[in-house]
Structures are given as structure tokens and as C-alpha cells.
A and B are shown apart, each in its own frame.
Chain A
């Protein structure tokens, strides 16, 4: 999370150098040892296990649960020929682009921009409302949106119409709910980044006759571009793995109309008990997340190199 706010700030957090590593490895192995063992046991262990079972036909029950077999890449071959997976993959893409890259990112930036130079009261109120949505647990947020969008819910009652939003437009529903819930994060990142934009630079541009749009496009955005990249990376990863909100709101339905990859993975692993296949899906999701991060990191690097 520090990545998001750090790029613009001067290096105040780094401690004074004290010549580490020179006085023997014991100095750090001794205190760190127990923690490393625990981490290896409880973090690396399960991760390695799940990588392993992705290459087996392991199930939660049935004969394959007691003598599962190594099946090589069979799970992955099946995966890429599986229309349900490809459907979930497409929906995940729509969900990430719609709710994170476009929704949260843009809305967060807009709110942060609008808040500049406003009074404390306005800022506190807006911040409070936006952050409240973020603090609310996923399931609660989903319940709120369910009662808002349900057939006899708030929206239909206010508009006096009969529209089954969760059936006719499930992706729109989950995207809206996720924007509502996650905008606070982007807003905070951009508020911090904007506060680092030197006011004199903006004023100078204004004196030179640049309008607000021009100032934003040519002064502000270029100055916070690294925050934009970092924010995009973080919210992409968060949204890619988003499960609870969609599960509680639509359950991936109707049918598979909002079944993003994490939901498909849950269904295969825990409802149909195909834990090996589910782990294979998880691995693919991990690789996709890693690819996204690489792209963003590369973009940041290019910026820094330039």
C-alpha cells in the first residue's frame, strides 16, 4: 500500500544505514528463524500444495480423494477447452475494466480533484461517505445492493417500475456495487498524490492562460502519473480476486451471467468438489494477475527511465 503513496514523497521513511549483514548471518537468522519457519509452514506450504494438486485429479470426496493421481497438464487442457471457464474469463475482464480501471479509478480521481481547495466540512462529509462504503464488509455491501436492486427493492419502489435488475443486468449490478464500494481507495491514493502537486506550478500555468482542462491534462495528470499506475495495479489485483461481493449479490447468476473466474473456481472446487481442477483455475488466475502487474510495473519503469 505504501507503493501507492510513496512515489511522490521524499525518502523520509528510510532509516539511517547501519551497515547490516556484515556482522554475520546469525544476527538476523536467530530472531527471524521462528517466523520464517512459521511462514514456510503456513504460507508457503499451502501454496505449494495447491500448485501440486492443480496437476492431480484430487477431489474433496470420492475415491479420487484418497488416491489422487498426477494427471500432468490435463486440468489446464480441460480448462482452456471449457466454455464455462472462457465465459468466466471474459466476465472477469469486463468486471475488472468496468469496475476498477474505468469506474473506481475515474470516480476516485474525480472526487479527489473536486475536493481540492474545498472547506474542511465538505471534505470530511464526502470522505466520510465514500470511505464508509469501503469500510463496510463485502457481504453487507452486497446485501445493501441486493435490497436496492431487488424486484421489490428501493430503486423499483422509487421509480415505480418493475424491472428485475439482478436478472436482466447482473454484470451492471455487480460492477456498480463494486465501484460504489471500492472508489474510496482510489480517492485516497489520488488525494495524497494531488497534495504533492506543487501549487505554484498550477498557478503559473493559470497565469500563462491555461484553462482548468488544460491544467489537468498537461500539469496535474503527468505529475501524478506514477500514482495512477500504482493505483491501477492495486485495484486491478483486488478486483481480479473479488469474490464475496458477487457471490452474495448474484451468486454468479442468473445461470453463469455474472460468474467471474473466482466464482467459477469456487463452484468447481467447493460445490462440485473438484479441488484439483479448482486449483488449476486458481493458478491461471494467479498468472493473469502477475501479467497485469508486470505490465503496470513496466509502465512505471518506463516513466522512471524517461
Chain B
């Protein structure tokens, strides 16, 4: 027994010895590693970055760009990125980054501020509107990423379903009640059709918080997660309960998808690839990008979508001014604080976010462009009559309080939403649970504002 053990240990030593010779970079050429996300139904970023790599390498001999893909949804991407970022050795030089994660990484010292480089890049001042520039602004006022895209959120609806239900088209709901009434009418008049969908479970992560909950909360009078004047997180209150009550109504009155679908990671694909094209869904609370799948080059080409699908703003709770609500987020290209080649890395950002590549990305994903020259180009709006509508929603849009604590707050919101979705808790109970959990999430009761 002992001898076997010793033998296997020796073998282990030998094996470890073989592996312990780290590959030295002999060529002397520089390499930039770019981390990004890809899914079979979402190849757009990969396409854009592959193009950018070619252009960049042609213009910068001696620098190689290594594209590293993370297969999976956003949540999988956040995890992979956070783990790679744990060590300077494994951290990518550049990465595609969700704006709400930026401040946590700034606090951890993982991101490099770009201000010095941006000052010398003419596009930054001529092509990026001020509102968009804020996307990746740290709490220290510095800029930590160049926006790849931005977005707004609202309601999509199926006109055939509306016609069958005897509902008016174009549809212009003024209050939450108008939305619920339309959903009830669909349930009653068009059996078998799902009246309304929204993301409301943990599996959809940030999409639930932002497309779902915040679209409701920020449409209530004075509804917000964070009080800017007192610099405190708002603990529940009537606004919070009202938003949850809307979700509760959807599921208790069975106006939403079946529970199994509400908890299905592929709910978004079901909506765009199946339910809307097959007229099995009435209304969907979602983002500007939802129609991208239906383009000729999309995953589910559906040329009739421009006639079959309508879009309208999500109304405020009781029609309070400005009458509509939207949330905006978006993704940026960010630079690691650990990168050895900062200027080269920044140059790659400028290539990736130039007009041509921004166009490829926006046309592919259906996200709104961050650049003025792309927005002005007819190619950008070609074949998508909804773009102007989504772009104009910027006038009523809100941004998330993307502080370091935000991801944790978002988690607690998802808990509350899911409890209401399944019916495990009433809206009041879920709000109470949120109020109880909030201090720990934001770093102490002194950072919480009781409502």
C-alpha cells in the first residue's frame, strides 16, 4: 500500500515537472487579449470583433489580437470575467463589459481609466452624445469604457392578436391598467394566446431587474431605487409594492406565460423565435433589440414583422408625466488595469467602436447605436421602422444607479420578483423581505432610506 502511494506521488511529481515550464513569449510581438460573449443565437459581437481584429492587425504590425470567447448567457459571462480578473496573469487586456458591473470593478482596481486617451481621440467629442458618455463613468468621475451600444425599453405587441381580441391598433396604453385591461381582453377573447410576457425570475438575472422590475418602479410617482439627494438606497415603500403587485396580477390572473416558461432560460428566444411570429403572444415588455432576430440575416427571418408587430412606450403607473418610462443601459469596451500595452489596447477600442464596426454591431444586435454618425446613416434604420421610436424614448429614459452595490441590490430584487411570480409571497411580503435584506446588500443600515 505504502509503495503504491509513494509510486503515485513520484508519478505526480514527474507529471508536475513536465507542466511547470511556462511558455515564454519568444517572438517579442505584443498580444492583446479581448474577452467577449457569444451564443449560437447571438453571433453579432463576434462578427464585429473579428472584423475589428483584421483591421487593427493590418494597421498595427507587431501587435496580435487574440479573441477569447465566452460561450453562454450574460450571467455566465459575468462569472467568467470576474474569475479571469482575479489575477493579472489571467485577466484579459480588453473586455466587453456590462455598464452596471463597471463600478464594482473600478472599486476593485481592475479597470483602467481612459480619460487621457479619450482626450486625444477626436471621435469621443464629435460622435458620442454626452448622455451616452456617462455609460461607464466611475463614481470618481473618470470614464472606464467606450460605449458599444445603448438601448431603451418598452412594449412590443402582436397586431393579429390585437385584431382578434378586438383591441385598437395602433395601441396606445396610457396607464398600467390599460396594459392589464388589454391583457385581460386577450385572455378572454383569444384563448390559447399568452396575453403578456415579462422577465420576472432569477434565471433571467439582470434582465428581470431592468426590463421587468425597474420598468415598473421608475414609472411610479417618485419611484426609484436610489435617492440621489440623500445618497441612500430606498427601502421598499408603496412604489416598490405597487411594482410587485403588477407582476403578481400578471401571474395570479394567468395573464403571463406558464410558470415553466417564466423560469426557462430561453424565454427570450421563445418570444422572438416562436410566440410572436406564430401569433401566440399579445404583449411583451422587452428591449429595443427584440426585433433583430426577424431581419433577413437574423436567426428567425420574418419579413412580415414590420406589419405584424407594433411598439409603444411603457406607460407610467397612472399616466403621470412624462407619460412613459424607459430604462437604458448598454455595454462598453473596457481596458484592464493590468494590461501592459495600454496605448495599443486603447487603439483597439477606437477601432472596435469606429463607425463601421459600430454599424455592424448595431445592425446585428438591434441595439441602439452610441454614435451620431451611425445614427445618421440610412443603412442603420434600413429595414427597421422601429428604430426611430426606440431612439426617441431616450427623452424619458432612466439609468440604473450603477454603484458598486447595485449588483447585490439587483439580486435582492430578483428574489422578490420571483417570490411574487411563483406566488410564494404576496407583494407586501416580498417588499418586507427586500427591506430586511437591503442593509446587508448595500453595506449597512446608514446607507438605507426607510420609506
Count of chain B residues with a beta carbon within 8 Å of a chain A beta carbon:
41
Contact B203 A251 (CB under 8 A): yes
Contact B263 A255 (CB under 8 A): yes
Contact A253 B13 (CB under 8 A): no
Contact B13 A35 (CB under 8 A): yes
Give complex CA distance A111, B170 in Å.
Answer: 66
Of the listed stretches A55-63, A94-102, A137-145, name the one at the interface; the rest are far from the partner chain. Answer: A55-63
Cβ-closest chain B residue relative to A151:
B260
Contact B265 A254 (CB under 8 A): no
Q: Which of A153-205 contact B (CB under 8 A)?
A: 164, 166-167
Q: Which of B118-145 contact A (CB under 8 A)?
A: none
Which residues on the A side are within 8 Å of B408 (C-beta)? 272
Q: Which of B79-117 contact A (CB under 8 A)?
A: 79, 82-83, 85-86, 101, 104-105, 107-110
Contact B6 A253 (CB under 8 A): no
Q: Which of A1-51 contact B (CB under 8 A)?
A: 13-15, 20, 28, 31-32, 34-36, 38-39, 42
Q: Is B259 an interface residue (CB 8 A)?
A: yes
Given A20-B2, A38-B12, A62-B107, verify A254-B82 contact (CB < 8 Å): no
Cβ-closest chain B residue relative to A78:
B440
Q: Is B451 an interface residue (CB 8 A)?
A: no
Contact A60 B86 (CB under 8 A): yes
Given A63-B404, A151-B260, A164-B260, verify A38-B82 contact (CB < 8 Å): no
Q: Determine how close the nearest CB of chain A comes to the CB of B404; give it in whole angstroms.
A: 5
Q: Is B169 an interface residue (CB 8 A)?
A: no
Contact B6 A28 (CB under 8 A): yes
Q: For the complex of A and B, list the 10 residue pairs with the smallest distance between their C-beta atoms, beginning with the closest.
A: A35-B9, A167-B260, A254-B263, A164-B260, A63-B107, A62-B104, A60-B82, A35-B13, A34-B13, A65-B108
Which residues on the B side are within 8 Å of A34 (C-beta)? 13, 17
Q: Is A134 an interface residue (CB 8 A)?
A: no
Contact B201 A35 (CB under 8 A): no
Give complex CA distance A273, B203 in Å.
Answer: 16
Give complex CA distance A32, B108 in Å.
Answer: 41
Q: Most chain-B Cβ atoms within 10 A of its Cβ — which of A13, A32, A66, A254?
A: A254
Cβ-closest chain B residue relative to A253:
B263
Give complex CA distance A151, B259 in Å.
Answer: 12
Contact B104 A61 (CB under 8 A): yes
Give complex CA distance A251, B260 in Å.
Answer: 13
Given A167-B263, A271-B75, A273-B82, verify A255-B411 contact (CB < 8 Å): no
Q: Is A270 an interface residue (CB 8 A)?
A: yes
Given A61-B104, A251-B265, A272-B407, verify A32-B9 contact (CB < 8 Å): yes
Which residues on the B side are within 8 Å of A63 (C-beta)? 107-108, 404
Give complex CA distance A253, B414 in Å.
Answer: 14
Given A28-B6, A35-B10, verify A61-B82 contact (CB < 8 Å): yes
Cβ-closest chain B residue relative to A150:
B260
Not counting A42-B16, A60-B85, A255-B422, a sample of 17 additional A-B residue pairs whose C-beta atoms are within 8 angstroms of each other reads A31-B10, A34-B13, A35-B9, A60-B82, A61-B82, A61-B110, A62-B105, A63-B404, A78-B440, A166-B260, A167-B263, A253-B201, A254-B259, A271-B78, A271-B79, A272-B407, A272-B408
Q: Is B214 an interface residue (CB 8 A)?
A: no
Which residues on the A side are within 8 Å of B203 (C-beta)? 251, 253
Which residues on the B side are within 8 Å of A273 (C-beta)? 82, 104, 407
